[in-house]
Every structure is written in structure tokens, then in C-alpha cells.
Amino acid sequence: MLFSIHRYRDEPRWVTAVHQEISVANHLQHCAAVLSFAWLGTPVSPLTDKEIEEVLNIQGRISFPKPTNPSKNLGEAQSIVVAKRLGAIFVTDDRDAFKVAENPQFLGVGKVKTACSLFYEALADGIITISQIKIDHSTLAAADRVMLCTKRGFSCG
């Protein structure tokens, strides 16, 4: 379904930290599937010292006040910095990353979306059906993944 939604939108980007996280879990069926998506393109990274510094700042903000390990929230932080550089939208179902990214210092309101919001946009555009959304929710639940809309008590179906 992601490919169906993507083909009507801007070129997606993903970052090296997210690629590495998924590669480590490649033994899981849903992770192996994501790694096979050629349409995601080559993972990108923060390029400048300033961007790397901003990644570390954002990573700390996402993790605050909880202690963090060096890779915790790195994918989210890199994604926010790369989205800022590209003027792109950041899609996440991580509540803390969503809150940090909405800060005008980083991306701001309107430049951060949940996967659920992408589903609703695709539904409104006639790209997918409510039945497909319900199937994807079930598939995610079976993989122990939960969309942010569900975490907030809303349902996409």
C-alpha cells in the first residue's frame, strides 16, 4: 500500500540510521519487506557538522528526560534534519519525535504527519479504500507496531 500512496507524492527519502535499524532486524518479515522497497531509494545522511550537531540536539530532545543509548532515536533525529534540509514532510508514529519535529525551530506544524494522516489523504484522493486501511492496521498490529493515531485513542478504520 505504501507504494500506491507514494507514486502520487514527492520522492520519499529515508536516512542511514533508519536503514541500519531495519537491517539489524532483517530476520523479521516486515523488516525484510521494507529493505526490498526499491522506491525508497538510497538512504541519505546529515552532511555538515552543523547538521550532525542538530541531529544530536534533536536526539536528546526526543529522549528527554529518559536516559538514552547512542542509537536510540537516531533515525528520527536524522529524519527531521534531512526533512528540514529538503523542505520535506517528516512522517512518524513516534509521539516524542512528532512533538519535537513540530517545534518551529525544526520543521513546524504542518510539516509533520503520521502514517494515519497519509492513509486518510490517500483515502480522500481515492487511491485506497477504508478496507485497505483496516487490513494495514491489522498487519501492523500483528507485527507489534502501532500507529500514532491508535496510540492517541483514534482509529483509522
Q: Which of 83-87, 92-96, 124-128 has the highest mean pLDDT?
A: 83-87
Q: In whole angstroms, what separates CA 6 from the centre of its chain?
A: 13
Q: How many whole angstroms separate alpha carbon 45 and alpha carbon 32?
A: 21
**Taking the complete model, does pTM exceed 0.85, yes or no?**
no
Residues 107-142: pLDDT tens digits? 999 999 988 888 888 888 888 888 888 887 787 777
End-to-end CA distance of the chain: 15
Q: How many whole angstroms separate alpha carbon 114 and alpha carbon 102?
A: 12
Q: Any idea where the domains of the chain sit in the sequence?
A: 2-114
- Show the beta-strand stretches assigned E in the chain: 90-91, 112-113
Distances in Å between the Cα of 46 and the Cα atoms of 55, 86, 93, 138 are 8, 11, 21, 34
A 10 A CB-CB count for 26 gives 11
Residues 60-72: pLDDT tens digits? 999 887 766 778 8
User: Minimal CA–CA distance to 103: which of 58, 53, 138?
Assistant: 58
Residue 152: the pLDDT is 47
